[in-house]
């Protein structure tokens, strides 16, 4: 019996070189949904009124916007107009600042940031769909595409650092898969420097993403065959992230008087131990933040399973020899586990939704890999043909409908709401002229105190 699936996750064999265009209209459907979603999102950012536009961004994004406005107008990296601040991820701050230099109206800035975020989301989605279509079966591609779209909706255009982080990580992993240093006896040094430079940008986009650099280096130590060029390649790969990290710490010390960002130092002063709030997020089926963290918990189980299976396979092979198609899922699973452990030990609060960004990586690189492996093992059993056809047909229909609904419903996000708290706080902060009045506003805006201050910084000095 021949296997119709294009990726054998057990053997690691992939049939590369094809894409969605070779699969007919069904193959291009996820890409068409991505295009529709992004066009609708762009339309929303163009047409949204002031109330809708302000409310669309995360509260924490206004921390970036306020500091960027102060730098553009006064030349100081400050949030309150007096004290220097560095509690932010530097690359996203560097992206936001030019918008405030070009536009005087903060509403135009929000519109421009939203348009930029949508274009970045499209880049992330297009690269991810390209990878899915060239590595996995059509069903696995659909399954990965559905979770990919959900992630882009959840934290693709929130005004946070994930806007620039997600495309950079996908580019890094796709590039790593293209050069395949584990399959070459003499990996090129220029490839190491290019990949290292991308990883340096990744860690500037979000500081805890330095864990991805550590994970890739550790996995490549295991998977690259011994040769005279191996350690030279790894050293060149590590050089850009290392130099970038040293420069970042040195600039912090010179400009702000301490190595770590202020937010990181404040977090370290919290209680030591496991973050039980995070654990509850993962285990609570009635999560007030929605189902995203329940999906994260499922992805954690999947990552543990994939990592364990591939680790055992590598240990039992000669020189940890993972074959084609297995190394990237191994790396992503390891990173997901390391990231989760880091957040469990290094935080003491309930995590916000953009902290779940590794779910997107699992959707693109691990979930479809595991799906094809499962389908292949089921097909190898006698008498499963009819059941598999039923399973595939049902999943296709469900995913097709989800993509169609989600792409349109959440792409055009404008909607009438009687009271938009973010906008109401913006108006109050805009009209606030005295410290005493601001204190009264802070007391009124329960749960939004920090946001009122942030928005006031955007509105006036």
Of all residues in the chain, what percent carry a pLDDT higher than 70?
Answer: 75
Contacts of 26 (CB under 8 A, 6+ apart): 138
- Overall average pLDDT of the 393-397 stretch: 73
Contacts of 300 (CB under 8 A, 6+ apart): 282, 336, 337, 340
Of all residues in the chain, what percent carry a pLDDT higher than 90?
Answer: 37
Determine the Cα–Cα distance for residues 237 and 248; give it in Å rounded to an integer: 18
Determine the Cα–Cα distance for residues 192 and 188; give it in Å rounded to an integer: 7
CA dihedral in degrees (349, 351, 355, 358; nearest 10)?
Answer: 100
Report pLDDT digits (tens) over 410-420.
666 555 544 44
124, 263, 336, 357 from 160: Cα distances, Å: 15, 15, 20, 11
What was the pLDDT predicted at 6?
44
Q: H or E stretch including 13?
A: strand 13-14
- Model confidence at 446, pLDDT cuts 50, 70, 90, reads very low
What was the pLDDT predicted at 443?
32
Report pLDDT digits (tens) over 336-383.
999 999 999 888 878 888 999 999 999 999 999 999 988 887 776 666
List the chain domain ranges: 17-416, 426-461
Determine the Cα–Cα distance for residues 231 and 1; give it in Å rounded to an integer: 44
Task: Name which of 34, 14, 123 is nearest 368 in CA terms.
Answer: 14
DSSP 138-189: HHHHHHHHHHHHHHHHHHSSSSSTHHHHHHHHHHHHHHHHHH-GGG-SS--H
Task: Name which of 162, 225, 240, 230 is nearest 194 in CA terms.
Answer: 240
40, 116, 349, 404 from 411: Cα distances, Å: 5, 15, 31, 11
Of the listed ranges 18-22, 60-64, 200-204, the one predicted with least confidence: 18-22
Rounded to 5 degrees, φ, ψ at 426 are: -60, -45
Determine the Cα–Cα distance for residues 116 and 432; give it in Å rounded to an integer: 30
Question: Higher model confidence: residue 298 or residue 256?
Answer: 298
Are 60 and 160 in contact by the 8 Å Cβ rule? The answer is yes
Residue 288 has pLDDT above 90, yes or no: no
Task: Name which of 224, 208, 216, 305 is nearest 261 in CA terms.
Answer: 208
What was the pLDDT predicted at 226?
81
- Overall average pLDDT of the 209-224 stretch: 93
Are 99 and 65 in contact by the 8 Å Cβ rule? The answer is no
| Stated pTM of the model | 0.83
């Amino acid at each position: 019996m021949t296997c119709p699936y294009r990726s054998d996750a057990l053997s690691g064999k992939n049939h590369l070189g094809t894409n969605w265009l070779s699969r007919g209209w069904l193959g291009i459907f996820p890409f068409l949904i991505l295009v529709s979603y992004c066009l609708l999102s762009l339309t929303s950012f163009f047409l949204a009124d002031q109330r809708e536009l302000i409310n669309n961004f995360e509260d924490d994004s206004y921390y970036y916007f306020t500091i960027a406005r102060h730098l553009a107008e006064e030349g100081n990296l400050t949030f309150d107009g007096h004290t220097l601040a560095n509690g932010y991820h530097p690359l996203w701050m560097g992206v936001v600042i030019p918008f405030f230099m070009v536009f005087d109206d903060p509403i135009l800035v929000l519109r421009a940031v939203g348009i930029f975020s949508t274009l970045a989301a499209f880049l992330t989605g297009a690269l991810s769909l390209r990878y899915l279509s060239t590595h996995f079966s059509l069903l696995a591609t659909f399954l990965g595409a559905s979770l990919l779209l959900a992630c882009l909706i959840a934290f693709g255009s929130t005004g946070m650092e994930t806007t620039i982080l997600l495309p950079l990580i996908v580019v890094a992993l796709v590039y790593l898969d293209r050069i395949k240093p584990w399959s070459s006896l003499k990996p090129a040094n220029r490839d190491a420097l290019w990949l290292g430079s991308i990883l340096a940008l990744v860690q500037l986009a979000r500081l805890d993403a330095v864990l991805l650099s550590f994970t890739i280096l550790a996995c490549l130590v295991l998977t690259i065959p011994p040769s005279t060029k191996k350690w030279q390649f790894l050293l060149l790969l590590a050089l850009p992230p290392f130099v970038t990290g040293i420069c970042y710490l040195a600039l912090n010390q010179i400009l702000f008087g301490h190595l770590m960002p202020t937010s990181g130092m404040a977090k370290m002063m919290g209680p030591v131990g496991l973050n039980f709030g995070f654990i509850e997020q993962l285990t609570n089926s009635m999560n007030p933040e929605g189902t995203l963290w329940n999906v994260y918990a499922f992805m954690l189980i999947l990552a543990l399973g994939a990592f364990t299976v591939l680790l055992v396979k590598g240990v039992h092979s000669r020189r940890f020899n993972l074959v084609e198609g297995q190394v990237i899922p191994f790396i992503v699973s390891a990173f997901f586990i390391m990231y989760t452990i880091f957040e469990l030990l290094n935080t003491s609060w309930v995590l916000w939704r953009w902290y779940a960004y590794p779910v997107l990586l699992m959707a693109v690189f691990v979930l479809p890999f595991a799906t094809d492996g499962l389908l292949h093992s089921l097909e190898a059993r006698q008498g499963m043909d009819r059941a598999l056809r039923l399973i595939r047909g049902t999943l296709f229909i469900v995913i097709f409908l989800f993509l169609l609904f989600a792409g349109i419903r959440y792409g055009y996000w404008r909607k009438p709401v009687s009271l938009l708290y973010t906008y109401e706080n913006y108006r109050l902060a805009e009209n606030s002229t005295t410290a005493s009045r601001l204190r009264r506003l802070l007391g009124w805006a329960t749960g939004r105190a920090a946001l009122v201050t942030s928005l006031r910084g955007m509105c006036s000095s």
